[in-house]
Chain A
Amino acid sequence: MFKNRFLLKLKKYLDLQIITQEQYEKICEYEEKALSKESILERILKFLIIYFLSFLLIVFFVSNWQGLERITKTLFLLGALGGGFWGILHFLKSNLFYARLFGVFTNFAFGLNLLLIGQMYHLGDNLPLALCTIAFASLLLAFSLGGRMLSLQSIIMLYIAFFWAFVNQSNLIYTFLLVIIYGFYYVYKNQNSPLKIFNYLNVLIFTACTIQNPLLSALLCIFTLGILLAKKPAFLSSPLIQKISYISLSLLICLLCDSQYYSFNFLREYKIWVYLLLFLPSLFLWFIKQKADALLFASIVLGIILDLFASVPANLMTFYYWGVFFGLCMILIILHNAMVGGIILLILFSLSQYISIVSDYFSLGLFFGICCIVLFILLRKKNAIIKK
């Protein structure tokens, strides 16, 4: 499928005379050679075979093969593990892809071995530890063999171990910190945009699971967003991360908009000066000359404080947040050249508000009116925007 799309594009270039006939043929020849080596589909099929073979082993384990002697089971599973390692070593020099497939199998076999020992001797009392061991051991193979498959496998295993430790309230949950630290180190060494987002998500999940205090989590979230928007550790930020930060902010505003439906009473237990700390990111943003972002942050925090400590009518509060949301979309459109993204966000937001609000048509109309006027002014100054 990729190939077809690519060929269509090439033909278009040929018609537009961007490339010559000779170049076109050369590119086609090269692509065909590259594809004939091993098609993606073939790779996926091979991966699936290993995957199902490994799961066959697990099903064996789960169904308690009582008929077999203990020693037979042990030998069978140790044999599977040994075979996996033999396969890796055998294919290491000649075909790295096969070596990695054997790596996936070895990881499954190792996990099965540990679980089998637990089952044979009726242990099963420290499952979080077993899962953690399996996950970190699989990380070892992923480091030495490399490849997306193995990394993905060990990441999934790490998440399972993390989840299990979380459910059992085990202290092993803190081993996840190692993963986060390594992720940041990796990003620092070799720039990798998807991994940046992944790190960001990991940190959010980890803080949400370990820090039970909602205010502390909110503080951390707002600080992280502020720092990411400021592009301050430069190696951590990318245009995509910035957009994700804006989208998270917009979700936060949406949540605050409908605060009459959610109970934010748990926030009320702190004194007002604690909330003033939330202004720090906006001060920081102001000093590094990102004044629009600073104003956005400040207005969100101001909204939270007004909502909690001054008895502003709910209608007025909602209207205030609509204004803030509009400001966010404007920042996206004007400062970040994300015209399409900003407009889609704005349309989705106004539609959702239009559907959810039934009684308060007056303020919604006012909001739409103000939107129209501001957009109209922007349209008049279109040249100024494009220059940016």
Chain B
Amino acid sequence: MQLLKNKTFQIIGTAFVFFGIIAFSFLSALLPRILGTSYIIKIEGYDPRDLFLGNYVAITPVMKESENPNKLPCNVLFTPLLLQEDFYILDGKFSCTPPQNLPYIQAKKTAYGLSFGFENYYVSPSEAKRIEEILQKEKLKAKIWIYKGKTRMDEIFF
């Protein structure tokens, strides 16, 4: 107990907690890259010009059919990836359990619709506007990493 009241000890403990949290978030960011496989998917998007969070392009994956997922009782949903010529698109049919034999993506219900975990692609302001201009004309391809449904964005090809 005496040790716990020591200020130096408290500060060092706090430092460990801080660096521990940072290490943990690095790990959670890198885990799909280390353990998962990469897929090329088709995306749409726009530049929301969000000043608070830095500049990013808001991204939604292209889906074959858009089904209203709010009918399902679960909070975490799964949808399979379908192979087109040389890229994938999302099926759009959601279920509460992950599909067998097919690659799949996990989505969470939020207040603003579904969240796939790669909505925000952070780039500089000028770059964001350029990507938006291209996205208005055509759909782009992006490389994502998937590990057990959890996804991380790698890069957008344009």
Contacts and interface: CB of A to CB of B under 8 A. Distances in A.
A368 to B, nearest CB: 51
Nearest to B119: A125
Contacts of B121: 122
Contacts of B124: 63-64, 66
Given A121-B29, A122-B122, A122-B153, A85 B11 contact: yes
A141 B125 CA distance: 35
Given A89-B8, A144-B10, A168-B111, A124 B18 contact: no
Interface residues of B, number: 39
A61 B54 contact: yes
B118 interface: yes
Contacts of B11: 85, 88-89, 92, 144-145
A169 interface: yes
A118 B120 CA distance: 9
B21 A119 contact: no
- How big is the A interface, by class? 35 or more
B115 interface: yes
Contacts of B53: 62, 115, 124, 127
A376 B119 CA distance: 70
B94 interface: no
Contact of A137 (B8, B18, B51, B56): B18
Contacts of A125: 108, 115-120
Nearest to A130: B25
Contacts, number: 103
Interface in B1-56: 7-8, 10-12, 14-15, 17-19, 21-22, 25-26, 29-30, 51, 53-56
A335 interface: no
Contact of B122 (A64, A110, A133, A141): A64
Contacts of B29: 117-118, 120-121, 123
B134 interface: no
B23 to A, nearest CB: 10
A234 B29 CA distance: 50
Contacts of A144: 7, 10-11, 14
A61 B51 CA distance: 11
Nearest to B52: A62
B56 A62 contact: no
A56 to B, nearest CB: 15
Nearest to B116: A125
Given A145-B7, A145-B11, 10 more contacts: A62-B55, A66-B124, A81-B22, A88-B11, A117-B22, A122-B118, A122-B153, A124-B56, A125-B115, A169-B110
8 contacts: A64-B122, A66-B123, A85-B11, A85-B15, A92-B8, A117-B22, A118-B29, A121-B30
Which 9 A-B residue pairs are closest in the complex by CB-CB distance? A124-B120, A144-B10, A121-B29, A122-B153, A169-B111, A64-B124, A119-B122, A66-B124, A85-B15
